[in-house]
A = this chain, B = another copy of it.
Amino acid sequence: MQPLPSKLLEEAVDEMASLPGVGRKTALRLVLHLLRREPEAVRQFSASFVKLKEEIQYCSRCFNLSDTALCNICSDSSRDASLLCVVEDVRDVMAIENTGQYRGYFHVLGGIISPMQGIGPADIEIESLVERVSAGQINEVIFALSATMEGDTTNFYLYRRLRDFPLKMSTLARGVAVGDELEYADEITLGRSILHRTPFDLNPSR
């Protein structure tokens, strides 16, 4: 792209384009859109991110984002305290909550082990997970991490840290997505879904 006619514009576009998945053309479009707003609206836009960064709290138990010391889910004593689901971030908590199929508690790692990005076990909430497990109330830990190399690495590390506790450890089922046609499933997924086939179910979409 050609150099922009203004250094101030250049800086704003650079910042916008630093967001993941936002190219310079899109960044310019978004910045020009902001520039057409009232000054007060631009200040409010910008302040929301600074305020979030400065004032956000993490739940002291599960490390999910929260406005309070204990998040909504951890405050709900009607949940099953024997089940703990380990996830990467708040989006995964929301996705699993959306299914309506899970009534245990969560543990939010706040990231995933990624040697490529310099994120090691000490950078995410693994010690706090071991502490929670060693308190003894938990019977099963579900590793609900992405089906990527980083997810598998983290799964394996967690398994090694937790294997001496009297626990059941499980991961999400891998298989053909509900609604997917077989011919479009990739071969690794399809292979696993044959290996880990499940007993016939009259009501399979539940």
Residues of A within 8 A of B (CB): 1-2, 4-9, 11-12, 14-15, 18-22, 26, 28-37, 39, 42-57, 64-67, 71-73, 89-91, 93-94, 97-98, 111
Contacts and interface: CB of A to CB of B under 8 A. Distances in A.
Contacts of A34: 19, 49, 52-53
Dominant secondary structure at the A interface? helix
B53 A49 contact: no
Contacts of A98: 2
Nearest to A1: B94
Contact of A9 (B30, B37, B52): B52
A20 B9 contact: no
A5 B52 CA distance: 13
B64 A12 contact: no
Contact of A39 (B7, B9, B33, B54): B54
14 contacts: A2-B94, A2-B97, A2-B98, A5-B93, A12-B48, A20-B33, A21-B30, A34-B49, A34-B52, A34-B53, A35-B56, A35-B65, A39-B53, A42-B49
Given A12-B48, A53-B39, A64 B5 contact: yes
Contacts of A57: 6
Nearest to A30: B19
A53 B29 contact: no
Given A8-B55, A9-B52, A32 B90 contact: yes
